[in-house]
Structure 1
Amino acid sequence: MLGTFSSVKQYLKFDISRVVIDNIVFKLHYRWTFVLLLVATLLITSRQYIGEHIQCISDNVVAPVINTFCFFTPTFTVVRHLNNTALDSGSIFQPGIGPYNREEDVIKRHAYYQWVPFVLFRQALCFYLPHALWKKLEGGRVKALVYGLRMVGLTKYLKNDSMRIGKLNIPSMAEVEDRVINIRRTMIDRMRLNQSWGAHLVFAELLNLLNLCLQIYWTNRFLGREFLTLGVKVLRERWVDKMDALDVVFPKVTKCTFYKYGSAGSLQEHDTLCVMALNIMNEKIYTILWFWYSFLLVVTVLGLLWRLFTLIFYHNVTFTKCALYWAKPGKMDESDLKSIIEKCNFSNWMFLFFLRTNLSEFLFQKVIYHLASEFPNDPIHDNDINDYRARERELPSGSTGKYPLLGGLDTVDAPLLHHRGAGPVLATPKSPTDGATLPI
């Protein structure tokens, strides 16, 4: 049994180092629903759990022939025999099975069982498509920055030398100094250039809702318009009546008519009974799917309401602090956070949200700290140290540039913001053994 489902175990792995670019509602669509539908497909196509999908009884007809014929052509039940009264009186032994008049009686044909595995697999792909589209539109931007910042965070445990552990390369403090500048500048460039990033995420989340509604609609059509009320009827009738909605939609015994020519050339009609072992699995799969789709629909709508709240209140500092704390608990500097979100649009805010989801408290505080230097509250004291540092690297050897003492600045841990209430200051040594501050 474990070997049967080994093909889907890769989708159930939980990797704590994986970069998160969506929320739990999104995962319910492309991971949990996708896996649920794949498992259902494997169960339907595996004969080891239910044996032959159909077994028919008929006189003077070879069993494999009648089984194959009745599986490929629709079987049927008689509508007037789908009632509990006849079952209670003993007039019929199975719902929908009994004598019928070809000219007068209405019959209910069942042909869906031939297509169940194909429909389930197609639905699994449909639930994965919005995620694949979002990954394409997102372009790996969060992953590129998060991986660089994670390596920087490990550097605080090293001194002067870098370290390599397998494929993991932890840079030294000297390497980090240049890397932080590049990462910070890259982050700012991405936030300014990718203004449609948040719109793409909202589009993918709306696509999840649209896809879910379409799958519910097509499943209802596929099951003869019986799916929408299936779960309610099962809860109401399952343990009360002998015949419930599952017996009507997924009959266990059906009728099949087979024709063949006799030895004298006359046409012979064979009325057969077929045991539908496949419907034992079908009824359970679609009952579970009804409850799962109902739950998923509610959660998806709530997720979109949350996205609407973020779109309306993302400029509010209190709301942002609560949202970022929900993404991952940790302390944040409110003044730094305020200076950033006042300059951010919705795409920038969502970008910060997912950075907070993927980074530790230590690293995210540094991100907020450095980003605040790019978006100061007071434009008169705009901190452009990072720009000058990048320019001075391009100056000829021996040139000091505008900030001759900038070479002593620790760009990882030194303050880049203006001092609280005293204007911006730059930490720099007066002598090799002492320290002082130089006003900017």
Structure 2
Amino acid sequence: MNTFCFFTTTFTVPYVNATKENLEKLLEAKELNAQLLDTGNLAHPGVGPYGIDSNEPIVRHAYYQWVPFVLFFQGLMFMIPHLLWKKLEGRRLRYLVDSLRYAAFSLQEKEVQVGENKIPSKSDREKKIQQVRQLFQDGVYVNKNWALKLMLVEVINFIHIIIQIAITNRFLGGKFLRLGSTVWRNGLDSSVDILDEVFPKITKCTFHKYGPSGSIQYHDAMCVMALNIINDKIYTAVWFWFIFLFICSVLGLIWRLITYILHARSRGFNRMIFSSSCPGKLNPWRVLNVTRTPSYSDWLFLVYLSKNVDPLVFKEIFVGIAQDYEERSSMKKPLLDLEDSDKYA
């Protein structure tokens, strides 16, 4: 019988003519079910007398057959923003970081082999750091669209979370949005709760059977939905996980907006960002030189570079970039210096 119920649509009886648009009647249905359970007149929530020709409303449950497929499909959809970013970013940062992975250990004049890893020599380290400085100055390695692509993927990730919540809510008959909050508010000890409404463990089904004379007989059967014991816990955890991802996505967009506004305006903000990646104190003038001139894409790429290389190596790169900017700015003032020297000669 349970096998028959699994492959056919089961149903429960809400006992009152309640609809999703009528909250008062939904509450009445819950109270009535609880009262009947307490008095022993109801075997399980949503399971009770129902005639074949009855006009009493019922709630059909057919989603449980599709739960594994829907969860698998949603898991694949979560890979879309990640794969999109890998495609747009082109692994630029990874290729650059791989050459600097063991640069902090470069203490010898020759390259050292340690297992499968190679520690570059001092000269190779200096060449690679100089290469990073030159690429940053020329603006060849990172174009202006790099940050725009990153922000686009972050917005897509935020929209994707909303779409996943909407898909799950539609799949569970519009009851997913209040699932976690109701469980949190009422706890798991109530006799009738939202988990019994969305994931009933005991349901009803009508079994058709031929009688001795060949006519069809209708048998009112009670079915045990064992999988719903797992499904209710899965989707309760999914509800809290989606809320966590939604909050993280919102905070990520707010942080991205703050960095875009302050990256070239606040010296204190940049000192806070880069001081965590550079051992010791940073020269405020050099911080100002590095963060005031480049575009937001260059600044953001420098931030991500600081998170993926050794702090000592990044500080050397940061100081080198600051020196490059100082040299460029000093080359623009020779004529003014000559004129000033003539005045006071």
TM-score (norm 2): 0.84
Paired position in structure 1 for 2:35? 85
Q: 1:149 and 2:107 equivalent? A: no
Match 2:273 to one of 323, 328, 339: 323
| CA separation of 1:179 and 1:353: change in aligned 2, threshold 3 A | closer
Q: 1:121 and 2:66 equivalent? A: no
Kindly indicate whether structure 1 or structure 2 has the higher relative contact order, using CA contacts under 8 Å at least 6 residues apart: 2
Looking at structure 2, the residues matched to 169 and 327 of structure 1 have their Cα atoms a distance apart, in angstroms, of 24
Deviation at 1:93, TM superposition (A): 1.3
Q: 1:299 and 2:299 equivalent? A: no
Looking at structure 2, the residues matched to 326 and 169 of structure 1 have their Cα atoms a distance apart, in angstroms, of 27
Gaps of 5+ in 2: 16-28, 333-345
Pairing of 1:205-220 with structure 2 (within 5 A)? 205-220=154-169
Q: Deviations over 1:244-273 (max 9, x none)?
A: 111111111001112233353211222211
Looking at structure 1, the residues matched to 277 and 3 of structure 2 have their Cα atoms a distance apart, in angstroms, of 55
- Higher helix residue share: 2
Paired position in structure 2 for 1:370? 320
Gaps of 5+ in 1: 1-55, 57-66, 383-440
Whether contact under 8 Å (1:148, 1:183) holds in the other structure is no
* Aligned amino acid, residue 121 of structure 1: F
Moved more, 363-372 or 332-341: 332-341
Q: 1:108 and 2:59 equivalent? A: yes
| CA separation of 1:70 and 1:179: change in aligned 2, threshold 3 A | same
Looking at structure 2, the residues matched to 167 and 263 of structure 1 have their Cα atoms a distance apart, in angstroms, of 79
Match 2:291 to one of 333, 341, 353: 341
Paired position in structure 2 for 1:166? 115
Deviation at 1:329, TM superposition (A): 6.7
Deviation at 1:343, TM superposition (A): 1.4
Q: Percent identity?
A: 43
Paired position in structure 1 for 2:214? 265
Aligned residues: 316
Whether contact under 8 Å (2:165, 2:242) holds in the other structure is yes
Match 1:195 to one of 144, 152, 156: 144
Deviation at 1:334, TM superposition (A): 2.3
Looking at structure 2, the residues matched to 365 and 218 of structure 1 have their Cα atoms a distance apart, in angstroms, of 47
SS of the equivalent of 1:344 reads coil
SS of the equivalent of 1:273 reads strand
| CA separation of 1:212 and 1:137: change in aligned 2, threshold 3 A | same
TM-score (norm 1): 0.67
SS of the equivalent of 2:165 reads helix
| CA separation of 1:178 and 1:304: change in aligned 2, threshold 3 A | closer
Whether contact under 8 Å (1:138, 1:197) holds in the other structure is yes
| CA separation of 1:317 and 1:180: change in aligned 2, threshold 3 A | same
SS of the equivalent of 1:241 reads coil
Deviation at 1:73, TM superposition (A): 1.7
SS of the equivalent of 1:374 reads helix
Deviation at 1:89, TM superposition (A): 2.0
Deviation at 1:95, TM superposition (A): 0.6
SS of the equivalent of 2:208 reads strand
Paired position in structure 1 for 2:257? 308
Q: Deviations over 1:347-389 (max 9, x none)?
A: 111101011111222111111122223323762437xxxxxxx
Looking at structure 2, the residues matched to 143 and 186 of structure 1 have their Cα atoms a distance apart, in angstroms, of 15
Moved more, 342-351 or 329-338: 329-338
Q: Deviations over 1:282-328 (max 9, x none)?
A: 11111112222222222221121111100110112211111234567
| CA separation of 1:124 and 1:327: change in aligned 2, threshold 3 A | farther
Looking at structure 2, the residues matched to 310 and 362 of structure 1 have their Cα atoms a distance apart, in angstroms, of 24
Deviation at 1:145, TM superposition (A): 1.6
Pairing of 1:49-60 with structure 2 (within 5 A)? 56=1
